[in-house]
Amino acid sequence: MAAAPEQKGVVDGNGVARASWLVPSLAYVLVVGMLGITTKLALEDLHWTELVLWASVSYVAIAMAMVVLGGQRLELVPDARWGALSGAFAATALITLFLALNSGDVSRVIPITSSYPVVTLALAAIVLGERVTSKRVLATILVIAGVILLSLG
C-alpha cells in the first residue's frame, strides 16, 4: 500500500502553523477520558456484559438517527471491507479489555494494554509507508510511560 498523504497544518491569522489533526485528536482524549469515568461508575452497578449491551444499544441508536434524520446509507464500495474490519476491531477491543480487567489486576493489565501504539507505529511504517522518526518513537514512549504511571498511581 502506498503512503497516505497527510493533510498539512493550517495557518491561522497570526501565521502560526497548526496541525489540523491535533484538534480532533485532543477532542478524542477528552471524550474517551470521560468515558473512562462513566465506565468505572457503570461497572459498580452492572456486569461487564450489560455494559457492552447498553453501550451497543446507545451507539446503534445514534447510528439509526444518522440513517433516519441524516439520510446516511451504507454503500458497498471496495474500501467498505476496511470500514467493516475497523468496526469489528473497535468492538473486539472493547470486549477484550473488559475480559482482561474482569480476570486480572489493573496493575498487570494496563501496562500491557497501554502499549498498543507501538503496534500501530510499526504497522504504519510497514503497511502505510509512513516515516517513523526517532522523535515519534520517543514521543510514543513518553506517552505510554506516562499512561502506565497514571494507571498505576
Partner 1 sequence: MRSLGWLPPSVCFVLVSGLIGITTKVALRSLPLGQLFLWTAIAYAIAGAGALGTGAPVSLSMPGTALAIGTGGLAAAGLSVRFAALQRGEVSKVIPVTAAYPVVSVAIAAVALDEGIDLKRLTGTVLVVAGIGILGQP
Considering only residues 93 through 152, tell me which ones interact with partner 1, judged by CB under 8 A.
93-97, 99-105, 108-109, 112-125, 127-128, 130-132, 135-136, 138-152
Closest to partner 1 by CB, 14 vs 103, is 103
Shortest Å distance, C-beta 69 to partner 1: 12
Shortest Å distance, C-beta 14 to partner 1: 14
Dist. CA 151–CA 153, nearest whole Å? 6
Q: Hey, which residues between 4 and 33 contact partner 1 (CB under 8 A)?
A: 4, 6-7, 9, 17-33
Dist. CA 46–CA 35, nearest whole Å? 15
Dist. CA 76–CA 78, nearest whole Å? 7
Shortest Å distance, C-beta 134 to partner 1: 11
Closest to partner 1 by CB, 7 vs 13, is 7
C-alpha cell at 59: 451507539
C-alpha cell at 61: 441508536
Shortest Å distance, C-beta 13 to partner 1: 17
Q: Hey, which residues between 60 and 79 contact partner 1 (CB under 8 A)?
A: 60-64, 66-67, 70, 72, 74-75, 77-79
Dist. CA 110–CA 147, nearest whole Å? 9
Dist. CA 144–CA 77, nearest whole Å? 36
Measure Cα distances from 10 to 14, 15, 18, 25, 93 in Å: 11, 9, 5, 15, 33
Dist. CA 13–CA 38, nearest whole Å? 38
Closest to partner 1 by CB, 13 vs 119, is 119
Shortest Å distance, C-beta 97 to partner 1: 5
Binding footprint of partner 1, residue count (CB under 8 A): 124
